[in-house]
Structure 1
Amino acid sequence: MSPKYYAAERLRDLSELLERGERKFGDQVVFRDLDRSRTIHDHSFRELHQDVAALGTALLDRGLSGRHVALIGDSSYGYVLCYLAAVTSGAIVVPIDRELTKDEMVVLLNKSDADALLFSDSLSPTVPGLLESCPRIGMVANMTMYQRDHDGGLSITDLLKSGRALLEQGDRRYANMTTDPDAMCAILFTSGTTGANKGVMLSQRNLTTVVFGAFSLYRFPPVSMSVLPIHHSYEFNLHVLGCIYGGLTLCFNDSLMHVGKNLLEFRPDMTLMVPMIVESLQKTIWREATRNHLDKHLRYGLWYSNLIRKIGIDARHYFFKPIVRSLGGNLKMIISGAAPLNPVVAKEMSDLGIAVYNGYGITECAPLISANCPRFNVPGSVGIPIPGVEIRIAEPDSEGNGEIQVRGDNVMLGYYNDPVATEQTFTPDGWFKTGDLGHIGRRGALFVTGRKKNLIIL
């Protein structure tokens, strides 16, 4: 393997991920979330594996293996349990954006052939309307934990209780369950930039490939905070599954309005963000400095810190300690993806002592394709491909720019119930056409330069 990469362990499927997590990390905390009263609840790797087994047993008992299970809800431990239990018991998960309108949700539920709906408490008022328009849905359950009352309906607490009872009675259906790592395990909807929602079919091999890829590029610090919506492939596949893989603790932010408060509460070492949030964070730092009449001091501090770093003196932890303290005190790494990141913003955050690494991905690639990292960081680029993933530039112009095409175990199975769109998005020799334009630059780094235009030739 290239010296740019760290050694990492390839896994077969999510069952192996959970078993490995319990074996290696045991009672260490893997997830930390908040209830309505803002009480923190910690969950260990051992508890996670046992809870997934109980919930998976309950889902098998209700005949959901091979069925499509839609998830609409908040970022939480309950959501993670439902996703993992569904996949490891042979169901297909359909994560849906909780911010969509009821009518938009109905379209996706019907388009995905959803047989069951697991939802968070915040969606309770919307559920009756969804069921009226989605007659295929049979089982419905509330996946919010720490609630005493779920209005008499089925809840994740009920399912966990029934699953544990079955396990105590010797039920071995879940333990004996074997899933195909190359079969569809998830349908994720994306509209991209060109029109109607398409259902991206992903396999467990797709998911474990990008987790392996991420840990081939990084050695992550121990505590992270989840900021992005959990239905996004970027957040769930890389952040949630990555923390299980790497023995990290992931703290769930309960609202974008509470990011500042939760940074102070959880004191994470790192997080995953989109460029808009990174840029908002940078603007907030300057706004607060200006409000406190410290903007001139900050400019001078950045200049002087950068000057002495050139002679090997790194005093960022001293000069900018108040800024880092306002972000919890430990934040040292941000992984940015899903859109281009302004390299000026990335450099300034790094100058403050918070490294920002930009990556590139697309839902159809589960989503990780390439990324910058500590061992390989070319400003303005989106880094190098993860191990086992190939990138080529199709029909490059005089400046080397052409369509970015990808091949590897991260690439989707196709679009659900849409063979025409699937055929159109792959080349005859099996490469996935991203629709993005770019070129391979210095040191083999990938640069994304725009979107391919849709031309109608008359």
Structure 2
Amino acid sequence: MGPDQIKPSESLVTTDPEGSVRLRIPNSGKAIETLPPISVPGYFQRTVDRFPNKVALGWKEADTWKTFTYKEYLNEVRTTAKAFIHLGLEEKHSVCILGFNSVEWFLSDLGAIFAGGIAVGIYTTNSPEACKYCAEVSRANIIVVEDDYQLQKVLNVRSSLPKLKAIIQYTGEPKHSDVLSWKQLIDIGKSLPDDLVDERLRRIAINECCTLVFTSGTVGNPKATHSRRRNPAMCGGVAVYFADKNALKGSLINTLQEIRPTKFLGVPRVYEKIFEKMQQVAAQNGFVKKAIASWAKQYTLQHHLDLINGIQSKSWAYSLASSVIFQKIKEALGLQRCTFFCSAAAPLSTDIKKYFMSIDIPIMECFGMSEASGGHTLAVESANNLNSIGMTIPGLKTKIFQPDEQGQGEICMYGRHICMGYLNEPEKTVEAIDEEGWLHTGDLGKIDQNGFVYITGRLKELLITAGGENIPPVPIEQSLKQELPNVSNAFLIGDKRKFLSILISLKTEVDTEGVPVENLLPSTQNWLKSLGCPAATVQEVLKAGPDPKLTAAIQEAINRVNEKATSRAQKIQKFSILPADFSVPTGELGPTMKVKRRVVEQKYSTIIEKMYV
């Protein structure tokens, strides 16, 4: 009996929340392929048996760090599960979680799984209607919200959710009598017998759904991907510390300094924020400090580029720069103990990678999808390439579907990490996962002779010009951003058009809600000043014409990008500077920072049409 049992099934996919699938377990294999299947509860229990007194979770409460050991963590999860069952969580029904990362988020997620339910995370940026859609599709019996702001979204649609039986608020005191606080939830769980959870655990199986991950939904409603009750990539024995939800507004550095992590995974925006801040600090340095820093960065960058090229060099200059100069920088950032830096969720520009390499912080790319339970390819310093997304993780497989003469085609993934399908959407499931079990990602790419995987565009984002040429916009956009470091977003136009044009947004400050404001970043202001057209805000830039000196600098960058074009159709002919940058709150970006192309095209249709008059 469960939780590590496997139920009979001949299909690799299912769209039924109560369905099961055949696991992708080969007769022989390597790495992850050879591991015996184990459920999330089973793996958790094994980790607790091995590391009962090791710190599992850490969070800050009233300026004091609190922790759970793995044994305490498991007890809290079981307590949460008992409370969920008591409140009416049915098997194969969901607990939706609406809030920022926190201990309570983790406990709700695992509590739902231990109770035989399905854990569902909802983006904090979702509208009330989007929250309703996620809860309705997943058959939510319970919704856990962070605070009153998120609670209001649920209360607005509560009458449309007949299966909803309880709402829990995990920060602050709920203002509504029928909404439970986190303390009340835990008190309920503590009063109940353990056999409530044990009985549910006996009935679950490894090859059933335990988690629904909603895709970011850049077009239409998000799809809900089934993830099974097993995940061979779960890490055992690691300690997770939670940063403040306002980390990207300035508090992250404080957390890093106090925790001093050994592994650091962030989205590109995290590294961009650190880069921008360090550029501001560096600009205040005197001549001598700048000269020393330039010397140190030159040798350190070369050291890491040599490693990429298989040259095991460690010059005295690098050793000195690393141990004296950059060690101090790492200490200031709280990263002196960190041995691995990783970026995921979106491309990190080559210039940003090189900058961090030059201060002895080599950042590795990781690529994956919601449909693949996380990572599929990963770069490590011994196998890295500045322009790739790394190599396929051992035990997983990658192939290029219908490659062209240059070896480019759709990237496909295979392995035990591939999802079960899309909930209640058989047609979309068949489109994404073929009969052999390969997940078709929708990403265009190639694999070189060394095994490095490259992404060159998105099938759905291909621009088809009036002349019939297919053009992937992302590589061109990324190339221009590398040429213009003070450009935040570049957005290529050209679908059904006679020529390509591009929209550009400059890097600006953001307010406390993450909305871009008028004020340009100091680095952007310095760039404009160096061109001879100083400005402090975007409006000043636009009111100036824009200044011919600025348009000339942008055109020169575009010319350099155009020199790399494989045909005239792939050359940018015109550009416009936008009045505001893209962001999640203003709608141009999805929760994973992917551009919503239709939103941008509609929002700036007037500016776009002027370029084609």
TM-score grouping bracket, smaller chain normalisation: 0.7 to 0.9
Question: Is 1:280–2:305 an aligned residue pair?
Answer: no
Aligned twin of 1:322: 328
Letter of the 1:302 partner, please give it.
K
1:136 matched to 2:154? The reply is no
Deviates more, 1:415-424 or 1:126-135: 126-135
Q: For residues 78 and 324 of structure 1, do their structure 2 counterparts lie closer, same or farther at Cα, with a shift above 3 Å needed?
A: same
Partner of 2:238: 247
Change in Cα spacing, 1:396 to 1:307, as seen in structure 2 (3 Å) is closer
Q: 1:375 to 1:248 in 2, by over 3 A?
A: farther
CA distance in 1, matches of 2:301, 2:434: 47
Aligned partner of 1:105 in structure 2 is: 131
After superposition, the Cα gap between the structure-2 partners of 1:30 and 1:329, relative to the gap in structure 1 and judged at 3 Å, is same
- Alignment partner of 2:66 out of 34, 41, 47: 41
Letter in 1 for 2:208: A
CA contact (8 A) 1:437 1:448 kept: yes
Aligned pairs for 1:112-151 (under 5 A) are: 112-122=138-148, 123-144=150-171
**Residue of structure 1 in register with 2:298 after alignment:** 303
Indicate yes or no: 2:97 matched with 1:71. yes
Matched, 1:181 2:206: yes
C-alpha distance in 2 between matches for 1:113 and 1:7: 33
**1:384 positional shift:** 1.9
**Distance of 2:357 and 2:151 partners within structure 1:** 42
Question: Whole-Å Cα distance in 1 between the matches of residues 402 and 205 of structure 2?
Answer: 36
Alpha-carbon shift at residue 149 of structure 1 (Å): 6.9
Report the Cα distance in structure 1 between the residues aligned to 2:301 and 2:412, rounded to whole angstroms: 38
Equivalent pair of 2:301/2:360 in contact (CA under 8 Å): no
Q: Aligned-pair distance for 1:404?
A: 0.4
Code of the aligned partner of 2:403: P
1:34-77 deviation line (CA, Å, top 9, x unaligned): 23x33322111111011111111222233413221111112111
Task: Indicate the structure (1 or 2) with the bigger Cα radius of gyration.
Answer: 2
* Contact 1:89-1:174 at 8 Å conserved across structures: yes
Q: Which residue matches 2:371?
A: 364
Matching residue of 1:264: 257
Task: String of CA shifts for 1:392-435, please: whole Å, max 9, x gaps.
Answer: 10111111111001121111111111111111122343321100
Aligned residue for 1:99, secondary structure, equals coil
Gaps of 5+ in 1: 212-241
Q: Are the structure 2 counterparts of residues 356 and 307 from structure 1 closer, same or farther at C-alpha, using a change threshold of 3 Å?
A: closer
Does the 8 Å contact 2:58/2:239 carry over to 1? Answer: no
| 1:419-438 superposed matches below 5 A | 419-438=426-445
In structure 2, the residue corresponding to 1:108 is in which secondary structure?
helix
Query: How far does residue 18 in structure 1 lie from its aligned partner after superposition?
Result: 1.9
Between stretches 151-160 and 430-439, larger displacement belongs to: 151-160
Moved more, 411-420 or 371-380: 371-380
> How far apart, in 1, do the equivalents of 2:354 and 2:301 lie?
11
1:203, distance to aligned residue in structure 2 (A): 1.1
Matched, 1:88 2:81: no
Q: Is the 8 A contact 1:31 1:252 kept in 2?
A: no
Secondary structure at 2:135 match in 1: helix
Quick check: 445-454 or 120-129, which moved more?
A: 120-129
User: For residues 96 and 376 of structure 2, what CA distance do their matches in structure 1 show?
Assistant: 26
8 Å Cα contact 1:337-1:359 kept in structure 2: yes
Name the TM-score, length of structure 2 as normaliser: 0.63
CA distance 1:379–1:307, change in 2 (3 Å):
closer
* Match in the other structure for 1:197: 222
Aligned: 1:412 with 2:407: no
Give the aligned partner of residue 172 of structure 1: 195
Identity %: 25
Aligned partners of 1:379, 1:307: CA distance in 2, in Å? Answer: 13
Question: Equivalents in 1 of 2:238, 2:70: separation in Å?
Answer: 8
User: Which has the higher mean CA deviation after the structures are superposed, 93-102 or 55-64?
Assistant: 55-64
CA contact (8 A) 1:251 1:266 kept: no
CA contact (8 A) 1:25 1:247 kept: no
Q: Is the 8 A contact 1:289 1:298 kept in 2?
A: no
Give 5+ residue unaligned stretches, structure 2: 1-29, 305-312, 469-613
Work out the CA distance in 2 between the residues paired with 1:453 and 1:52.
41
CA–CA distance in 2 between the matches of 1:73 and 1:61? 23
Counterparts of 1:194 and 1:119 in 2: how far apart (Å)? Answer: 26
Partner of 1:225: none
Per the normalisation by structure 1, the TM-score is 0.82
Aligned amino acid, residue 209 of structure 1: P
Please give the secondary structure, in 1, of the residue aligned with 2:116.
coil
